[in-house]
């Protein structure tokens, strides 16, 4: 029965709250050691799915298997998982070490074993000099690392992270993101991670799961979702700034209902096929985003990788880079290129 290579298997998970169907039949296989990231708009069911995996919520239908074993009747503490939430309540009266060992104590892990695990986790997370402090004496990033440490010491087979970095400032997010990536390499553990941050999703994930309205839209490697989205939703969701969508004559010429072109795949080009006027320009230092209204009134974003003399009200012509146009049919599904 045991499938050691398979860490998590979700089979047709449905969740309803009264008349509302929040998850509409989610299937997913996660291999051991894989880093899987869930993305999707607010309210699409990411946290509900995490809570069902953890056993904090019961699915209306479907099954959850962890490490090849059905855990539907297994309480959270016995599922071999550890969860890190956005709001990681630490106990204010306990030290860092105390917070990290509390659950182990409750599980009956011996004192020497507890100390060994805390030492190891503290080393990994650079918390060793802070073990005797209380949460009030730590920075936000340090507290977040304690919450991660508290998960590590349990030596779970499956880590669940639900937007663990969203309380941190930009610099700390990047630093902690790198730490989580390193942690994943070092521990070789399976990780499931929810984020709204494109960069986190693209850089951390072995595979990304795109959810919308309780349904999986596409599962794949980040670069494959970026290059070969299955449908309009995934095309518009993955990538920042988001893909431009054009309809009407421009789409008809490409034999599609809608065509998509990413801002970084448009070039300002005197010979360009599309003519328009710059309505707004955003200078980010490394990049400039031009907002261009085309002749037919449709607006596109163009990302050019440098400072530019182009200014608001300038007339420009644009060319799509060859092979970078995405075509969609009336149902919003990608039309494979010939």
Please name which of 238, 253, 235, 219 lies closest in space to residue 332, comparing C-alpha atoms. 235
Among 7, 48, 99, 195, binds ligand ATP (CB under 6 A): 48
Residues within the interface to Mg ion (CB under 5 A): 47
Q: How far apart are CA 146 and CA 97, in angstroms?
A: 9
Please name which of 292, 295, 297 lies closest in space to residue 314, comparing C-alpha atoms. 292
Q: How far apart are CA 220 and CA 298, in angstroms?
A: 31
Among 4, 17, 297, 323, binds ligand ATP (CB under 6 A): 17
295 is an interface residue for ligand ATP by CB under 6 A: no
- Of 45-53, 70-78, 95-103, 316-324, the window that binds ligand ATP (rule: CB under 6 A) is 45-53
19 is an interface residue for ligand ATP by CB under 6 A: no
* Shortest Cβ 147–ligand ATP spacing (Å): 17
Query: Taking CB under 6 A as the criterion, which residues in 49-88 touch ligand ATP?
Result: none
234 is an interface residue for ligand ATP by CB under 6 A: no
Distances in Å between the Cα of 153 and the Cα atoms of 102, 109, 122, 149 are 10, 11, 9, 6
188 is an interface residue for ligand ATP by CB under 6 A: no
Partner in contact with 17, chosen from Mg ion, ligand ATP, none, beta carbon below 5 to 8 Å by kind: ligand ATP
By beta-carbon distance, which residue lies closest to Mg ion?
47
Q: In terms of CB distance, is 8 or 209 closer to ligand ATP? A: 209
Site string for ligand ATP, 25-44 (x = CB under 6 A): ---------------x-xxx
* Shortest Cβ 46–ligand ATP spacing (Å): 4
* Shortest Cβ 244–ligand ATP spacing (Å): 25
- Token pair 């990302």 in the structure block, residue: 303
Partner in contact with 117, chosen from ligand ATP, Mg ion, none, beta carbon below 5 to 8 Å by kind: none
47 is an interface residue for ligand ATP by CB under 6 A: yes
Q: In terms of CB distance, is 54 or 127 closer to Mg ion? A: 54
Q: Which residues of the chain form contacts with ligand ATP (CB under 6 A)?
A: 17, 22, 40, 42-48
């Amino acid at each position: 029965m045991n499938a050691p290579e398979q860490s998590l298997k979700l089979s047709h998970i449905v969740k309803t709250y009264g008349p509302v169907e929040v998850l509409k039949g989610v299937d997913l296989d996660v291999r051991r050691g894989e880093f899987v990231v869930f993305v999707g708009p607010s309210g699409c069911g990411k946290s509900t799915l995490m809570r069902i995996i953890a056993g904090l919520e019961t699915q209306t239908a479907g099954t959850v298997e962890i490490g090849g074993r059905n855990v539907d009747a297994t309480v959270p503490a016995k599922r071999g998982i550890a969860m890190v939430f956005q709001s990681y309540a630490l106990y204010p009266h306990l030290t860092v070490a105390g917070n990290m060992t509390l659950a182990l104590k409750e599980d009956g892990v011996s004192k020497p074993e507890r100390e060994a695990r805390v030492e190891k986790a503290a080393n990994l997370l650079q918390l060793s000099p802070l073990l005797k402090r209380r949460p009030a004496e730590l920075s936000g990033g340090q507290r977040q690392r304690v919450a991660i440490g508290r998960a590590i010491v349990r030596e779970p087979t499956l880590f669940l992270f639900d937007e663990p970095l969203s309380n941190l400032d930009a610099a700390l997010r990047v630093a902690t993101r790198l730490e989580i990536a390193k942690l994943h390499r070092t521990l070789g553990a399976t990780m499931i991670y929810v984020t709204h941050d494109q960069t986190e999703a693209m850089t951390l994930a072995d595979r990304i799961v795109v959810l919308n309205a309780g349904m999986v839209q596409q599962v794949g490697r980040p670069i494959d979702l970026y290059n070969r989205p299955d449908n309009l939703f995934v095309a518009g969701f993955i990538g920042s700034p988001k893909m431009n969508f054009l309809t009407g004559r421009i789409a008809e010429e490409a034999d599609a209902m809608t065509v998509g072109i990413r801002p970084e795949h448009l070039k300002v080009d005197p010979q360009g096929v599309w003519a328009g006027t710059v309505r707004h320009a955003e200078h980010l230092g490394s990049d400039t985003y031009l907002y261009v209204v085309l002749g037919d009134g449709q607006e596109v974003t163009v990302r050019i990788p440098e400072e530019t003399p182009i200014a608001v009200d300038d007339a420009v012509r644009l060319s799509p880079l060859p092979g970078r146009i995405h075509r969609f049919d009336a149902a919003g599904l990608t039309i494979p290129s010939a």
